[in-house]
Amino acid sequence: MVVPREAGHGGGARLMAVGATARVGGASGAPVLDSVLQAIGNTPLVRLRLPELPERVELWGKCEWLNPGGSVKDRTALSLVLEGEKSGALRPGRTIIDSSSGNTAVGLALVGRARGYDVELVMPSNVSPARRRLCEAYGATLVVTDPLMGADGAITTVRERVAQAPERYFYADQYRSPANPLAHYRGTGPELWEQTEGRLTHFVAGLGTSGTVMGAGRFLHERDRRIRVVAVQPDDALHGLEGLKHMPTSLVPAIYDPAGHDQLVLVKTEDGVAEASRALRDHGLLVGHSAGAALWAARRLAGTLAAGVVVALLPDGGERYLEAGG
């Protein structure tokens, strides 16, 4: 089923440059942006002080919901689009298309709108109403698929649509495009290194497309091979941690390489949900369940250390989960 998008958004009509840096305005030092896309990245770290941790162990959260589209996937979407333009595969008149369980969809809808492209998004029909409404608000066309087929069914559908009309579409292909991990190699990884002043000892992040772990992990390993990159995935195929993949039972993303992380932690859905609730109760952080899974793994890891700096990537906020009972 195709959900019609808002009319009047012509593909390729409003291309604009995205500057490498933003200006700083006035005595406040607040940034002055030429485009909303310059607000993507440079998200803050927040310290999570837990009384049970040893004095020399620090636990931090990387607040990715403060990207303008509300998640870490804004980074991915911007990189996919800019690299597509650079290669010539994306040009005026073409429609951006991809499959997504939600956050990349919102990111692509935002970036496509800002860059002047039509966007078509393929997703299971059980994606949260909040995410669907956000994509529609940005003017994207939604193509919904059988929820029983999950994310893999959406991937199959988008590949069929591209095969039928290759000249119409730019397939962003977040599961296979090198531009996905490149976003984190160029952005997330360097930010983590600079924000911790090179003291980072452990980086913890969930596995979905795997771009965050692959890209940021590669950068951090190049800086210091002693840094432990810890990947988090659900413990079972039938899980409720939206955005994360149970790799043994999923179509494995082409960009994923198990050698890119040093440790794999399995998290139960109920533990991820409970940890998200704990983050709100103890720290005032309203985060999503996949962020809860990363925090659960990071907190347990931090508790085994005598000293260290552990950073958990918190991919999105909890607002989009409230309608689903979160």
What is the phi/psi pair of residue 311, to 5°?
-120, 125
312 strand-pairing partners: 61, 204
The SS3 assignment for 11 reads coil
| CB neighbourhood size of 283 (10 A) | 16
**Would you call 290 a catalytic residue per the annotation?**
yes
The C-alpha atoms of residue 128 and residue 149 are separated, in whole angstroms, by 16
103, 67 Cβ separation under 8 angstroms:
no
- From the CA atom positions of the chain, what is the Rg in Å? 19
DSSP character for 37? G
63, 44 Cβ separation under 8 angstroms:
yes
Among residues 99, 100, 101, 290, the one annotated as catalytic is: 290
The C-alpha atoms of residue 110 and residue 131 are separated, in whole angstroms, by 12
314 strand-pairing partners: 63
- Which residues lie below 8 Å from residue 96, measured CB to CB, with a gap of 6+? 81, 84, 90, 108, 112, 117, 118, 119, 120, 169, 170, 172
Among residues 62, 71, 73, 79, the one annotated as catalytic is: 73
**Would you call 35 a catalytic residue per the annotation?**
no
| CB neighbourhood size of 274 (10 A) | 14
Catalytic residues, by residue number, are: 73, 290
